[in-house]
Amino acid sequence: METIRFGVIGTGMMGCEHIGNIEALPGAEVVAVSDPSPRSLGWARTTLGLRADEVEYSADHRGLLTNPSVDAVVVASPNFTHIDVLRDSLSTDKHVLIEKPLCTTVADCLEVNALAKERTALTWVALEYRFMPTISVLLDQVQSGVCGEVKMVAIREHRFPFLEKVGNWNRFTAKTGGTLVEKCCHFFDLMCHLADSRPTMVFASGGQDVNHLDEVYDGHRADMIDNAFVIVEFANGVRGHLDLCMFAEGGRFEQEITVTGSSAKCETTVPGDVVWWGKRHEPGQVEVPAPLLPSVAYEGFHHGASFLEHERFAECVRTGLPAEVPVLDGVWSVAMGAAAQLSIAERRPVELAEFGLTPQFR
Q: Give residue-wise pLDDT tens across range 9-46.
A: 999 999 999 999 999 999 999 999 999 999 999 999 99
CB of 30 closer than 8 Å to CB of 9:
no
Q: Could you report the per-residue pLDDT of 174-195, keeping only the tens digit for each?
A: 999 999 999 999 999 999 999 9
CB of 177 closer than 8 Å to CB of 101:
yes
pLDDT class of 1 with cuts at 50, 70, 90: low
DSSP 252-316: S-SEEEEEEESSEEEEEEES-SEEEEEETTSSS-EEEE-PPPTT-S--GGGTTHHHHHHHHHHHH
pTM for the predicted model, two decimal places: 0.96
Helix (H) / strand (E) containing 191: helix 185-195
Q: What is the mean pLDDT of residues 291-310?
A: 95
Q: What percent of the chain has pLDDT above 90?
A: 97
Domain boundary assignment for the chain: 4-126, 129-294+326-355
Which residues have a Cβ under 8 Å from the Cβ of 71 and sit 6 or more positions away?
A: 1, 4, 5, 6, 94, 95, 317
Q: Could you report the per-residue pLDDT of 67-117, keeping only the tens digit for each?
A: 999 999 999 999 999 999 999 999 999 999 999 999 999 999 999 999 999
What's the mean per-residue pLDDT of the chain? 97
**Confidence at residue 362, expressed as pLDDT on a 0 to 100 scale:** 84
Question: What 8-state DSSP symbol labels residue 246?
Answer: S
Q: Could you report the per-residue pLDDT of 126-171, keeping only the tens digit for each?
A: 999 999 999 999 999 999 999 999 999 999 999 999 999 988 999 9
What is the spatial distance between Cα 137 and Cα 288, in angstroms, rounded to a whole number? 8
pLDDT class of 2 with cuts at 50, 70, 90: confident
Q: Could you report the per-residue pLDDT of 320-331, keeping only the tens digit for each?
A: 999 999 999 999
The CATH fold assigned to 4-126 is: Rossmann fold (3.40.50)
Asked, colleague to colleague, whether 4-126 and 129-294+326-355 share their fold, the answer is: no
The CATH fold assigned to 129-294+326-355 is: Dihydrodipicolinate Reductase; domain 2 (3.30.360)
What is the spatial distance between Cα 67 and Cα 36, in angstroms, rounded to a whole number? 17
What is the spatial distance between Cα 178 and Cα 12, in angstroms, rounded to a whole number? 19
Q: Could you report the per-residue pLDDT of 128-137, keeping only the tens digit for each?
A: 999 999 999 9
